[in-house]
Structure 1
Amino acid sequence: MNSKQQMPSMGVLKFEENGRTFHLHRYSPSADIGTFVKHYWVVSWDLTGHPPYPQEVIPNPCVNMVIEPGRSGIFGPSKQKFTYMLQGKGCVFGVKFKPGGFYPFVKQPISRLNKQIMNIHSVFGIDAGAAEALILSQRAEEDMVRQMEAILQPKLPKIDPQVEVIVRITERIMEDREIIKVDTVCKLFDMNKRTLQRLFDQYVGVNPKWVIQLYRLQNAAELIGKGRFEDGLELSMELGYYDQSHFIKDFKAITGKTPEEYASSL
């Protein structure tokens, strides 16, 4: 319970390099909360005396509840790269729900969250300011996790079996680089395409085609970060792209740079 996780970048661009700029730790939830929550995350930094640093993160198909001074809220999945300006000294605490895991709390299509920030009080009964004071006043990250679990526990909804289905689908997409089409997912899970799309709109907030594209491009960014950009055509084909120009266009849409520009910036 609440163990610190050593995990891959999971969309944090230049993860290995930027480990010197900030610290990112992830913690596992308790068993019952883990039905809905993927992990807790804590980002802390101290750039006192140093210039601000723009940290970039590739979007993901998850809802996040973010606890940050004056900016707390519940954020739906985004289709664009997110840039956070690290400056001075600070700490941000987050709850990353599993794909589909936030829907049982609100029972409304998660796609509605894509362009708005949901108020924490409306879902969990605690004002944002009170949550900030409670969580961010803790010295130990493990204590932050315990306080957040005390907030979540009384509000846990009934288990929704569809959440587990979506988790299995998204995990398969993430792990299996051979999956490049929605039709493949439908065959693997014996599901009609319209049913799959409706399920993702309601529970995840983005369509399955975008989730497939996102994970393939996240794979690309991680491979480039490890020095795997000697042959751009080979990399694009490895990730399921048979048109290199299409790969370059999609990669830039997600990261803000072409693969070559991203590789040279490392």
Structure 2
Amino acid sequence: MLWPEAGTDVFEAGRLPVPEPLAEVAAYYWWVAWRRGDQTPFRQEVLSHPVTHLTIEAAEGGVLHGLPVPAALVHGLVTRVFTVDLPVAGRVAGVAFHPGGLAALLGRSVGDLTDTVVPAEEVLGGGVGPLAERVLAEDDDAARRDAVVAFLGEVLAPRLEEVRADTGYRTVREAVTLMRAREHVALGQVAERLHVSERTLQRLFVRYVGASPLWVLRRHRLQDAVAALDTGEGQDLAALAASLGFADHAHLTRAFTQVIGVPPSHYRAGR
């Protein structure tokens, strides 16, 4: 079954690990499946992580992201809130790459993929054509995961040693690990820990991630801000701004509003 049967609202989601050696470039397999009981489309909004995805998507009505589905698609890094108008029912199975993982796998920059969703053939070649049919024919997500892993494993095999020897990719991975830690609020701190210059990080992140290292750092701090507000920690917005490395409350408000669409005070109030 491609998506849940008609009835009440259903939204299913989950993750599964990916095996070695694919774990060199891919973080995990994930899926979502949904159906609206009242037969109305709806809008989903997510403050996404700075990574790329290979997805296999199907939906009632045959269109997602303005592209025909079922299809295998590649999602580049999203610099804004990821917004998608979902039809009544559908299913998405995907692999999230490590930051820089897709660039390492392909041996090229992924900067051209930022803020885009494109047919996977444009990125991974013609061999990806049958993948959507193969994945969606499976009955459970473990089997779907295995089908995606098998395909990506074939892509990775001839480049595996190059990926393992790619020092630029390793530097990006290590930098992002540091950026995820809330105590790192300035790019200089990250560069110092890695014994590289900020200019080197800039060059590597543009190639491997598709955004500047400062943007990635700020995205993680904005995610921390959202998480703090969701759990009721952000009553003192000035203190929250300081803890996240923003110069003051106004700088946090400006950055938060630019990405989320409302000031943190409105978000906290549920508006």
Report the TM-score when normalising by structure 1: 0.85
- 1:86-140: per-residue Cα shift (whole Å, max 9, x none)? 3422211111110111112322221122254444224154345x32221123221
Give distance in 2, aligned partners of 1:74 and 1:213.
24
- TM superposition shift of 1:21: 6.0
Aligned residue runs from structure 1 range 82-231, under 5 A: 82-122=82-122, 123=124, 125-128=126-129, 130-156=130-156, 157-158=159-160, 159=163, 160-175=166-181, 177-231=182-236
Report the TM-score when normalising by structure 2: 0.83
CA 1:151–1:145 in structure 2 vs 1: closer, same or farther (change >3 Å)? same
Q: Does 1:46 align with 2:35?
A: yes
Question: What percentage of residue pairs aligned between the two structures are identical?
Answer: 26
Counterpart of 1:74 in 2: which secondary structure?
Answer: strand
Q: Aligned-pair RMSD on alpha carbons?
A: 2.0
Q: How many residues align?
A: 245
Counterpart of 1:68 in 2: which secondary structure?
Answer: strand
Give distance in 2, aligned partners of 1:21 and 1:231.
37
- 1:159-213: per-residue Cα shift (whole Å, max 9, x none)? 23432321121011102x2222221111111101211111111111111000110
Give distance in 1, aligned partners of 2:72 and 2:262.
29
CA 1:118–1:85 in structure 2 vs 1: closer, same or farther (change >3 Å)? closer
Bigger Cα displacement from structure 2, 145-154 vs 225-234: 225-234
Could you tell me which runs of 5 or more consecutive residues in structure 2 were left unpaired when the two chains were aligned: 1-8, 59-68
Give distance in 2, aligned partners of 1:93 and 1:150.
14
CA contact (8 A) 1:113 1:205 kept: yes
From 41, 49, 52, the equivalent of 1:60 is 49
Q: Does 1:31 align with 2:24?
A: no
Give distance in 1, aligned partners of 2:259 and 2:144.
32
Could you tell me which runs of 5 or more consecutive residues in structure 1 were left unpaired when the two chains were aligned: 1-19
CA 1:102–1:127 in structure 2 vs 1: closer, same or farther (change >3 Å)? closer
- TM superposition shift of 1:240: 1.6
From 238, 245, 249, the equivalent of 1:240 is 245
Give distance in 2, aligned partners of 1:243 and 1:124.
47
